[in-house]
Amino acid sequence: MRSNTLITTAGLNDVDPKAWLADVLARIADLPASRLHELLPWEWKRRLPNAPVSVERWARWVTSSAF
């Protein structure tokens, strides 16, 4: 098993892995087990529409946009 699976999954869901992991670590202790699914990257992104996007997605946007 790869050690970076969580980070890779976040990136594949266009979520900034550092922002996602920091938020998950801050909230996981207070969240009931029945709501842990809310912390999965795709749920986290859906629940937080202004969540930071992945660096790769941001870079694609910057290089394709005319300022």
The predicted pLDDT at position 66 comes to 47
Longest dimension (CA), the chain: 45
Confidence tier at 32 by pLDDT (50, 70, 90)? very high
User: Where along the chain do its domains lie?
Assistant: 5-64
What pLDDT is recorded for position 35? 92
- List pLDDT tens digits, range 38-64: 999 889 888 876 766 665 555 554 455
Query: How far apart are alpha carbons 48 and 27 in whole angstroms?
Result: 14
What is the mean predicted confidence (pLDDT) over 6-24? 84
